[in-house]
Amino acid sequence: MEGQARVLEFLKWALILAAIVYVLIFAALYVFQRRILFLVQPSRVSPVEAGVTEAEEHVLKTEDGERIVTWLRRPLGAQRPLFVMFVGNGDSLAGLASALRRLSADGSGYLAVAYRGYSGSTGSPSEAGIALDALTAYGFAASMIAPRQIVLLGYSLGSAVAISLGARKSVAGVILLAPFTSAADVAAQIYPIFPVRWLMKDQFRAVEEVHNLRAPVLVLHGEHDTVVPIEFGRKLYAAAIEPKRFVALPKADHFSILDRGGMEAIRAFLDEFGLR
């Protein structure tokens, strides 16, 4: 009997300790959630320093007073698109140098956007704040060229930003690289024992807005993506309306989409819908 009592006492304290650890981790996830979701790269690098000599840096003022850094390369003629680019949570403008050169190799232009807090932009990121950054970038792009030349391009976290903007503004096309249904869905897969859908302040529920896109949509997803598994991209694509195209890239992971078939798929999409 004494031995059984000791076992029960041990189990009681083990459960208490496990509960305390659970609560502490839960509290940490809540308090530090934006640091986890937004992997801010704050350093500001000029286009010249990054080796993107054809780009101009423009600092745009948002409606709530923040200043966001953008890199602009104007399209070479009215038959080439301007990609308004929204990047992933750990990206920087300097880190886009190779992708920008490839996207613009055919004379296409780009406006690469650094969210608030990123790459020298002021402020701290949040879903609402990034939405304002996107609207500011669109207004700048639309002041230069017609909406029929604007193609939104969103990667990972930026796919939700592009969808939200495209659901509200006139654009020629929307290209989504490694998109998800919602940030909450991805987080729930990473932290299955925590109620993250109640926890998250910034849920980026792209699947609830994608059906409002009225421009052609291209979804690109690597079959070896372990960050945002391809099932998320397929579910998001299913919720979009026509015209739409889905391209699964058999050799790509989350970070190699453009290098392993994505660039060719983008060119084919632009040609199919007369966007270049």
| Cβ atoms of 108 and 101 closer than 8 Å | no
pLDDT value of position 193? 83
Name the region of 194 (left: φ>0; alpha: ψ -120 to 50; beta: rest). beta
- pLDDT tens digits in sequence order for the chain, 276 residues long: 666 777 667 677 778 887 787 777 777 777 788 888 898 999 999 999 999 999 999 999 999 999 999 999 999 988 899 999 999 988 999 999 999 999 999 999 999 999 999 999 999 999 999 999 999 999 999 999 999 999 999 999 999 999 999 999 999 999 999 999 999 999 988 888 888 888 889 999 999 999 999 999 999 999 999 999 999 999 999 999 999 999 999 999 999 999 999 999 999 999 999 988
What is the DSSP pairing of strand 67-73 with strand 109-113?
antiparallel
Alpha-carbon torsion (263, 264, 268, 274), positive or negative:
positive
115, 126, 118, 120: which is closest to 62 by C-alpha? 115
Output the pLDDT for position 29. Answer: 79
Q: Is 119 left (phi over 0), alpha (psi -120 to 50) or beta?
A: left
DSSP string, 92-107: -SGGGHHHHHHHTTTS
Residue-range domain boundaries for the chain: 1-31, 41-272
Predicted local distance difference test score (pLDDT) of residue 2: 66
| Residue whose structure tokens are 């704050």 | 42
Q: How far apart are CA 196 and CA 26, in angstroms?
A: 9
CATH class of 41-272: alpha beta
Provide the strand spans (E) within the chain.
Answer: 56-61, 67-73, 82-86, 109-113, 150-155, 173-177, 217-222, 244-249
Instruction: Report how far residue 241's alpha carbon sits from residue 140's, in angstroms, rounded to the nearest whole number.
Output: 28
DSSP 130-181: HHHHHHHHHHHHHTTS-GGGEEEEEETHHHHHHHHHHTTS--SEEEEES--S
Contacting residues for 133 by C-beta, under 8 A, at least 6 apart: 62, 66, 68, 113, 115, 116, 121
